[in-house]
Structure 1
Amino acid sequence: MVKLTIDGTELQVKDGTTILDAALQAGIHIPTLCYLKKLNKIGACRVCMVEVEGNSKLVTACNTRASEGMIVHTNSPKVRKTRKINVELILSQHDSNCAICARSGNCTLQKLSNDLGILEMPFEKQLPKTKWNPDYPLIRDYKKCIKCMRCVQVCDKVQSLHIWDVAGTGSRTTVDVSLNRKIEEADCALCGQCITHCPVGALRERDDVDKVLEALADPDKITVVQMAPAVRAAWGEEFGLSREFATAGRLVAALRRIGFSYIFDTDFSADLTIMEEGSEFLEKLKHRDEETFPMFTSCCPGWVRFLKSQYPDMAGQLSTAKSPQQMFGAVAKSYYASLLNVDPARIFCISLMPCVAKKQECALPVMNDAHAGQDVDVVLTTREVDRLLRAEHIVPAELPEEDFDMPLGIGTGAGVIFGATGGVMEAALRSAYYLATGSNPDPDAFRAVRGMEGWRESEFMLGDTKLKVAVAHGLGNARKLIEALRRGEVSYDFVEVMACPGGCAGGGGQPIHDGEELGGVRGSRLYTLDKSSTLRFSHENPSVLKCYEDYLGAPLSHRAHELLHTDHSAWKMPAEQKNAE
C-alpha cells in the first residue's frame, strides 16, 4: 500500500495503482480520451495530464503509478492550460462539423471540448484527404480520427484480427488498415467492436436509413420488419428509458407509427433455426464415425467470417443452417408471401439488428433462395433504428405497448436468449433433448453454459448420449478455443461462438456508452424475458409448427434445405480469393 495526496485528499491505495485509478477511488474524476481500462493506457492524447509536486513536467495519470508521499494536482492552472492546448491541437486535426456527425451528442471529444470551454480554434485546421469505399458496411472517416489507438487495441487484444495499425510518419501519422491494404482486402470480421470503442465518429456503420425511407414511400412495396432479440435489450438506452420500459412492444408501436406494413419478431426464426440446427446436430450424432466434430453454430456472421478467413479448413464444420435473420427473409418472401397471396418481389424485408456484419451477410450472393432478390433487403443497426425514430419525431416514452403482427410474431424464451452469449447453445440443447428423448427437460437444465467467461465448457446427458459442449464470445477467445482444438488439448461435440463480447447484446451495432461494456447487463435482461415467457422451447412455437405443417414439411426436408440452409463454401473471404488466384 502507498499513501498519497490528490487535490488535498489523503488516501491509501495498493502499490501499482495508477494516479487515474487512485483519483477515482477518492471520487476525483480526471478527464481521458484515449484511455480504455485494461486495453489502452498509452497516454497518447495527453488529456489526463496532472501535476506532481517535485516534477518539472506534467505526467499522464492513466499510466503513471502512484508512489509513497506523492502530492498530485489534477486541475492546477498549469494542468488546465496544458490540457486545453492539447485538446485544441487534437481539434486542429479533427473534422469538427458536429452537426452532421453520427456521434454528435455522444462524442467524448465533443464533451471534453465543451467542458474545457473551447469556443474558438487558435490553430490552423489540417485534415487528411484519404477516401474510403462508401459501400462497405464499416465506414472510416480519416478526417475525424484522433489517433487514440483504441480501434487498434480492441482489434488486436480482444478480437485478435489486427485489422488496424499505425500508418505514416511525423505529422502524417494516422491509423489505417494494416499491411498497406484496402479494407476490402483485409479479413475483417465486421464485428464492429472498433466502432463501439471509438470515442469520436471516425468509425461508424454504413447508414442505410434512406433505403428504408425510400421503401416506405413506395406504394408497391410491402415493408416487412424483423426485430432481433438483442435489439429489445438496448434500443431505449439513447432515449434514457429503462430496459423494463423500453420493451419490444413499445418499439413495435413506434415502428407502426412510422408506417411499416408488418412488424415481426426474429425470435420466430431463431426458433426455426433451433429446429433446423438441432436436427442437423442430432443427425450428425447418429453418424458420429462419418462426421467431424465439433459442429459449430453459424448464427453469427462475424464468427463465420472469422473461421473462413483464419481457419478455412474448418469451415466445413459450421452448421449449414442459416442465421435467424436470413431464415426470416427466406420465409417472408416465400411462405408469408403465399399467405398474403402477393408477388414475393413486392416484399421489402428489413432487419433491425445489433450487428454490423449482418449488413454484409444479407448481401452475400447465396442469400437469395426465395428467388425474389436478396432474401433480406436492408439491415439497420440498433443505432440506426434510434436515428430513424428521431427523424420521424417519435417519442417512445409516450407510446403504449403493441403486439407483433402474426403469424411470424411469435417467439419463445429460447429464441430471445439468442442475443446473449451461450443462448444459442442453451436453446439448442433444450430442443435437442426433446427431439432425442420425446420429453422436455427443465427449461433451465442447461444454464451452466451461461456466463461472461470468455470460453467455458460443460457436459450434459442427451438421453443415453453424453455431450461435451463449449461456448466462446469475442474472437480472441474463439481463437484460443480453436487452437486448443487443433492441438488436441480439448474435444467437443457442439460449440457456440459469438464474435462480440457478451454475444449480440454487446454487438457492434448497439448503442455506444464510452468506457462501458454492457453486453452482460443486456444479456441478463434477455434471460429475464426468457424466464417470464409462457413458451420456453423452440419446438413448442405454434407459428413454427404451423409453418412446417403447411409449407416446409419437416426439419431438414427438401424445401427446408432449399430455404433455410446454405453453403458456406459458395462465397470467399479476401484471403481465400487471393489463395485461389
Structure 2
Amino acid sequence: MGHTMIVDGRPVELNGEKNILEVVRKAGVDLPTFCYHSELSVYGACRMCLVELSDGRIVAGCSTPPAPGMEVKTTTPRVQRIRKMALELLLANHDRDCTTCEKNGSCKLQDLAQRFGIRHIRFGQRDVKVDIDDSSPSLVRDPNKCILCGDCVRMCQEVQGIGVLDFAHRGSKMTVTPAFGKKMAEVDCVNCGQCAAVCPTGALVVKRQTDEVWQALQDPAKTVIAQIAPAVRVAVGETFGLPPGENTLGKLTTALRMMGFDKVFDTSFAADLTVMEEGTEFLARLREGGSIPQFTSCCPAWVKYAEQYYPEMLDNLSTCRSPQQMFGSLAKKFYAKELGINPEDLVVVSIMPCTAKKFEAQRPEFATDGAQDVDFVLTTQEIIQMIRESGLDYPNLESDSLDMPFGFSSGGGIIFGVTGGVSEAVLRAAHYLLLGKELEQVNFTDVRGMEGLREAEVELDGKTIRLAIVHGLQQAKQLLEAIKAGEAEYHLVEVMACPGGCVGGAGQPVGTNSDIRKARAQGIYTADKAQQLRKSYQNPLIQAVYEKWLGSPNGETAHAALHTTYNERRRISSDSISLSDNKGKKRLAVDVCVGTCCYLKGSYDVLQDLNRKLRAANLEDEVDIRATFCFENCGSGINVKVGDTLYSGISPAKTGFIIDTITKELQSK
C-alpha cells in the first residue's frame, strides 16, 4: 500500500500525521471530538473519535498513530452505537438548561447531540447541583456543565504553565476545580480566559457586562463612549459569515452608533501613545542604565503573572499603562472636561478581544477621583451579542468613520493586536525618538510569526539591540528562567499571554484555532499597510494631545496620567481555618501553612504537634491556631507565623521553638 492508509474504503496518503484522527480529517471526514486539540497533549478521554480497524478492534483516533496499509472505518454500527452511548451518558450528567446557557448555539455537546440525533436519554439526570463560581471579574465557572474533557486543565498547565484547574476526587465524584476547592478569584488565575476558549460547553464562559452597558446607553444623564481594540475589527465579522481577518471597523462603528454610543474611538490611537511613552522609557533605560531588559506591559494577564511569580523582576516591566488604560485615563482626566461634563457622567466602554482586560479595568491603580477610568469591558463575543440583540444586519451595514480626537491611528498602533506588534511599533519609532531622524525601514519582519519564542537583532545608533518576542505564559516562564540564569540577554522583551497575541484572545468568537489566528494576524498587517502613516510619532493627533494636555513623553503630567506601578501578589488568597474554640476572646494568632509544598514536608504533623503542646502547656485558651494555605515562601520549608512574624524551616522536631516563641509573645503582652 506504500505510504497510504484506507479510510472508509478510500486511500489517503500519509504525510507525517501524528494520529489516525488527523488522517481521517484529511480524508474529509469530520471525526467528532471533545478533548482533542492539536496544540495540546493527547488525552483520549471522550471516546468520540473511535474508529474500527480491519481486525475488528475499536481504537481512539486521537491516540493511535497511523501506519501504511492500515484500514479504518468511521461509521460502523458498533462505533456509532458507542458514540451515541457516550453522548447519552454525558448528557445525563449535564445541566441541560440549554436555552439560557451562554454557549447556546456554540456548544459542542449540543451540536453533537443534534448531529447524532439524540432525542431520548435513557439514564437519570444528576441529582446534585453545584454552586456556580462567578467570583472572577473575567470568567464564570459552572461545574454542572463540565464534561471532564480536560481541555481547560491542559491549556492552563501546558500553554500557560500555571495549572489553576485540575481533576479532583474519583469515580462519579470526579470534578475539575481550582486548588483546595477554592473560587477562581482566590487562586493564581491570571484571567487570560484560555480555559474558556477551549471549553466545549458552558462550563467556562466569559463574564458578561452587556446588561450594564445597555443600562448606561439608556441613561440620558450619561455620555457613553467606546474604544475598539485592533484585534476586534478583524474578528467580529466571522460570526456573521465574513472571512476571518476581514477588517470591519467601519461596520462596527456604524453598529455602535445605532446602539446609542455617543462617540466611537480607536484603541489604536492609545497604542500610538503607548509607543511614545514606552519607546521614550526604553531609550532612557538604555541611556541611563535602568533595569534591562525592559518587558512590555500591555497584556494584563502577563502583568498579573509577573506580580505573582516573578516579583523580583517587576522593576523590569515598563511602567506604561496598557493602551486601554491610557485611553481611559485621557477620557476621564481630560476629555470629560473638554466635553463640559463630570468624569462620573462619562462612561468609557472598552471593546476588547481579551478577558483579562476586565480584571485590569477594576485594578485600584486605574481610577480618577475614585471612579474607574474604564467603566466596562466588553469582549468581541459580547459586542456580537449586542449586535444580534439589536437586530442589525451586520454584513450589509454601511461603513462609518470614527470620531475625533481619538479616532485616528498610525499602522504602528494597529499592529499591537498581533504578537510582535508592540516590538515592531517601538522599533519603527525608536530611531526618531533617539536621533530625531526618520528611519526608512517600516516593516521589521524578524519579529513577526507565530513561533512561541522569536528573537531579533536591530542596529540603533551603532548599538545592537536584542529583542525577544514570546506568547503563551509557559514560553514566558522558560524565557524568564533563562534570563535569571544568565543564559539569555535581551534589551527588550515583548510578552503576550494568549497564543498569537490579542488576535487569539479568549474574548474572540468561539472556535478560534491556529488557522483563524493567522488569518486575523494577516488582516492586522493588511490594515497596517493601508494606513497613511505607519509610525506612531507621525500621528498628528498624538502630537496635539501632548501639546494640549500631556507636555512631553515621560514628562511629569504624562507620567501621572499614563504610567502605573506594580505590586507583589499572593498566588492563593483566602481566610485561614481556625482550629480553636474561639469564644470571642482576643488570642494570639498562630498560622501553619498546609499548602502543597509545606504539606508534603510534614506541616500537618507540625500542626498536630503544636496543638498537643499548647494543650499540655495550658495555652490553648490564649492562642488561636489556624491552618492557612500559602505564605508565598514555598522554597524555605514548613512556614509558621506567630503574630506578625514568619518562621520558616520548622519541622516536627522544632515545634518546641515555636512554643517558646508563643510563650515569650504572650508574656510580652
Normalising by structure 2, report the TM-score. 0.83
Report the counterpart of residue 421 of structure 1 in structure 2: 419
Tell whether the 8 Å contact from 1:417 to 1:530 is kept in structure 2 after alignment. Answer: yes
Cα distance in 2 for residues equivalent to 1:455 and 1:301: 19
Report the counterpart of residue 366 of structure 1 in structure 2: 365
Report the counterpart of residue 440 of structure 2 in structure 1: 442
Cα distance in 2 for residues equivalent to 1:68 and 1:544: 61
Moved more, 334-343 or 359-368: 334-343
Given the superposition, is the C-alpha separation of residues 433 and 83 from structure 1 closer, same or farther in structure 2, using an over 3 Å criterion? same
| Distance apart, 1:217 and its partner CA | 1.2
Report the counterpart of residue 638 of structure 2 in structure 1: none
Report the counterpart of residue 296 of structure 1 in structure 2: 295
Tell whether the 8 Å contact from 2:320 to 2:564 is kept in structure 1 after alignment. Answer: yes
CA deviation profile, 1:523-543 (whole Å, cap 9, x unmatched): 111111111100111111111
Cα distance in 1 for residues equivalent to 2:65 and 2:408: 55
Cα distance in 1 for residues equivalent to 2:465 and 2:82: 60
Tell whether the 8 Å contact from 2:235 to 2:246 is kept in structure 1 after alignment. Answer: no
Partner secondary structure for residue 233 of structure 1: coil
Report the counterpart of residue 123 of structure 2 in structure 1: 123
CA deviation profile, 1:286-340 (whole Å, cap 9, x unmatched): 112xx22101010000110111111111112111100000000010012211221
Given the superposition, is the C-alpha separation of residues 514 and 557 from structure 1 closer, same or farther in structure 2, using an over 3 Å criterion? closer
| Distance apart, 1:144 and its partner CA | 0.8
Report the counterpart of residue 214 of structure 1 in structure 2: 215
Cα distance in 1 for residues equivalent to 2:459 and 2:81: 66
**1:316-465 equivalent positions in 2, closer than 5 A:** 316-368=315-367, 370-371=368-369, 373-465=371-463
Report the counterpart of residue 113 of structure 2 in structure 1: 113
Cα distance in 1 for residues equivalent to 2:295 and 2:68: 52
CA deviation profile, 1:472-501 (whole Å, cap 9, x unmatched): 111111111111101111101111100111
Report the counterpart of residue 73 of structure 1 in structure 2: 73
Cα distance in 2 for residues equivalent to 1:243 and 1:6: 30
**1:217-296 equivalent positions in 2, closer than 5 A:** 217-242=218-243, 246-288=247-289, 291-296=290-295
Cα distance in 1 for residues equivalent to 2:564 and 2:70: 63
Given the superposition, is the C-alpha separation of residues 573 and 247 from structure 1 closer, same or farther in structure 2, using an over 3 Å criterion? farther
Cα distance in 1 for residues equivalent to 2:199 and 2:105: 14
Partner secondary structure for residue 510 of structure 1: coil
Normalising by structure 1, report the TM-score. 0.95
Report the counterpart of residue 204 of structure 2 in structure 1: 203
Moved more, 70-79 or 377-386: 70-79
Moved more, 228-237 or 21-30: 21-30
Report the counterpart of residue 102 of structure 2 in structure 1: 102
Question: 1:559 is aligned with what amino acid?
Answer: T
| Distance apart, 1:199 and its partner CA | 1.2
Tell whether the 8 Å contact from 1:296 to 1:496 is kept in structure 2 after alignment. Answer: yes
CA deviation profile, 1:349-406 (whole Å, cap 9, x unmatched): 10000000000000011111x3260000000010001011111111112211101111
| Distance apart, 1:148 and its partner CA | 0.4
Question: 1:94 is aligned with what amino acid?
Answer: H
Given the superposition, is the C-alpha separation of residues 15 and 566 from structure 1 closer, same or farther in structure 2, using an over 3 Å criterion? closer
Cα distance in 2 for residues equivalent to 1:42 and 1:135: 29
**1:300-319 equivalent positions in 2, closer than 5 A:** 300-319=299-318
Tell whether the 8 Å contact from 1:34 to 1:40 is kept in structure 2 after alignment. Answer: no
Cα distance in 1 for residues equivalent to 2:573 and 2:436: 43
Cα distance in 1 for residues equivalent to 2:99 and 2:350: 27
Tell whether the 8 Å contact from 2:266 to 2:408 is kept in structure 1 after alignment. Answer: yes
CA deviation profile, 1:437-458 (whole Å, cap 9, x unmatched): 1112124253321111111111
Cα distance in 1 for residues equivalent to 2:513 and 2:499: 14
Cα distance in 1 for residues equivalent to 2:73 and 2:535: 58
Tell whether the 8 Å contact from 1:309 to 1:576 is kept in structure 2 after alignment. Answer: no
Matched, 1:574 2:571: yes
Bigger radius of gyration: 2
| Distance apart, 1:3 and its partner CA | 5.1
| Distance apart, 1:236 and its partner CA | 1.0
Tell whether the 8 Å contact from 2:272 to 2:537 is kept in structure 1 after alignment. Answer: yes
Question: 1:480 is aligned with what amino acid?
Answer: Q
Q: RCO higher in 1 or 2 (8 Å CA, sep ≥ 6)? A: 1
**1:450-529 equivalent positions in 2, closer than 5 A:** 450-513=448-511, 518-529=516-527
Cα distance in 1 for residues equivalent to 2:181 and 2:219: 43
Question: 1:24 is aligned with what amino acid?
Answer: R
Cα distance in 2 for residues equivalent to 1:415 and 1:38: 29
Report the counterpart of residue 25 of structure 1 in structure 2: 26
Tell whether the 8 Å contact from 1:254 to 1:389 is kept in structure 2 after alignment. Answer: yes
| Distance apart, 1:67 and its partner CA | 4.2
**1:522-537 equivalent positions in 2, closer than 5 A:** 522-537=520-535
Report the counterpart of residue 156 of structure 2 in structure 1: 155
Given the superposition, is the C-alpha separation of residues 303 and 38 from structure 1 closer, same or farther in structure 2, using an over 3 Å criterion? closer
Given the superposition, is the C-alpha separation of residues 204 and 372 from structure 1 closer, same or farther in structure 2, using an over 3 Å criterion? same
Cα distance in 2 for residues equivalent to 1:340 and 1:10: 69
Question: 1:42 is aligned with what amino acid?
Answer: Y
How many aligned residue pairs are there? Answer: 576
Cα distance in 2 for residues equivalent to 1:423 and 1:246: 17
Partner secondary structure for residue 233 of structure 2: helix
Tell whether the 8 Å contact from 1:103 to 1:201 is kept in structure 2 after alignment. Answer: yes
| Distance apart, 1:244 and its partner CA | 6.7
Given the superposition, is the C-alpha separation of residues 295 and 128 from structure 1 closer, same or farther in structure 2, using an over 3 Å criterion? farther
Cα distance in 1 for residues equivalent to 2:477 and 2:103: 32
Tell whether the 8 Å contact from 2:334 to 2:549 is kept in structure 1 after alignment. Answer: yes
Partner secondary structure for residue 261 of structure 2: coil
Given the superposition, is the C-alpha separation of residues 189 and 535 from structure 1 closer, same or farther in structure 2, using an over 3 Å criterion? same
Cα distance in 2 for residues equivalent to 1:16 and 1:252: 43
Tell whether the 8 Å contact from 1:305 to 1:573 is kept in structure 2 after alignment. Answer: no
Given the superposition, is the C-alpha separation of residues 477 and 401 from structure 1 closer, same or farther in structure 2, using an over 3 Å criterion? same
Tell whether the 8 Å contact from 2:410 to 2:528 is kept in structure 1 after alignment. Answer: yes
Q: Which runs of 5+ in 2 are unaligned?
A: 575-629, 633-643, 645-669
Tell whether the 8 Å contact from 1:264 to 1:408 is kept in structure 2 after alignment. Answer: yes
Given the superposition, is the C-alpha separation of residues 517 and 407 from structure 1 closer, same or farther in structure 2, using an over 3 Å criterion? same
Cα distance in 1 for residues equivalent to 2:55 and 2:251: 58
Cα distance in 2 for residues equivalent to 1:42 and 1:334: 51
Partner secondary structure for residue 386 of structure 2: helix
Partner secondary structure for residue 325 of structure 1: helix
Given the superposition, is the C-alpha separation of residues 443 and 77 from structure 1 closer, same or farther in structure 2, using an over 3 Å criterion? same
Percent identical across equivalent pairs?
A: 43
| Distance apart, 1:220 and its partner CA | 0.9
Question: 1:120 is aligned with what amino acid?
Answer: H
Question: 1:113 is aligned with what amino acid?
Answer: A
| Distance apart, 1:177 and its partner CA | 1.1
Tell whether the 8 Å contact from 1:41 to 1:63 is kept in structure 2 after alignment. Answer: yes
Cα distance in 2 for residues equivalent to 1:434 and 1:41: 49
Cα distance in 1 for residues equivalent to 2:17 and 2:526: 39
| Distance apart, 1:416 and its partner CA | 0.3
| Distance apart, 1:245 and its partner CA | 5.4
Cα distance in 2 for residues equivalent to 1:284 and 1:494: 11
Question: 2:421 is aligned with what amino acid?
Answer: G
Tell whether the 8 Å contact from 1:329 to 1:375 is kept in structure 2 after alignment. Answer: yes
Cα distance in 2 for residues equivalent to 1:120 and 1:128: 21
Moved more, 88-97 or 374-383: 88-97
| Distance apart, 1:459 and its partner CA | 1.3
Partner secondary structure for residue 349 of structure 2: strand
Report the counterpart of residue 648 of structure 2 in structure 1: none
Partner secondary structure for residue 236 of structure 1: helix
Report the counterpart of residue 187 of structure 1 in structure 2: 188
Question: Could you say what the CA RMSD is over the residues aligned between the two structures, in angstroms?
Answer: 1.9
Moved more, 408-417 or 99-108: 99-108
